[in-house]
Amino acid sequence: MRKYRFLHVDVFTETRFGGNQLAVFVDGQSLSTEEMQKIACEMNFSETTFVLPPERPEADWKVRIFTPGRELPFAGHPTLGTAYVLAQEGMVELKEPQTTMNLELGIGIVPVELEVTNQKIGFLQMKQQKPTFGRRLNQIARIAEALAIRCS
């Protein structure tokens, strides 16, 4: 039987079992994509992340994010939660007053900044890429009807 270590973290809170739950597998290197998906389904959290060595030289770690049903190229709380775990586990060197780590995600490199005081992690924030949008839908009446919204 294979064994894998993971951490269950609560993101966006200081209260245990509050916030957004996340499972972080700190060594996903020997897992296949299919196994990651099955584990995420078994965990049944909104997201589960798997940390891997980076493929791009500017990245500190590669992170794959899975829901119970599919892999995501990016999601906010798993990115920040995984960054926190990497720092807590000593997988990224903490520098005061700020540490920046570059996570390789499905959308590319996402820098995450951590405020650090007395080797304790405070506030975390990420620099997201500019959004891109698809074509604009101009059929207001049809959309309103589909959503059962009155349109005047």
What residues have CB less than 8 Å from 41, skipping those under 6 apart? 68, 69
47 labelled catalytic? yes
Question: In one letter, which amino acid is 96?
Answer: E
The full DSSP string for 30-97 is T--HHHHHHHHHHH-SS-EEEEE--SSTT-SEEEEEE-SS-EES--HHHHHHHHHHHHHTTSS---SS
Residues pairing with 51 in the sheet: 63
Marked catalytic residue, from 47, 58, 104, 113: 47
Alpha carbon 74 to its chain's center: 6
Question: In one letter, which amino acid is 12?
Answer: F
**Cβ 100 vs Cβ 112: under 8 Å:** yes
Report the catalytic residues.
47
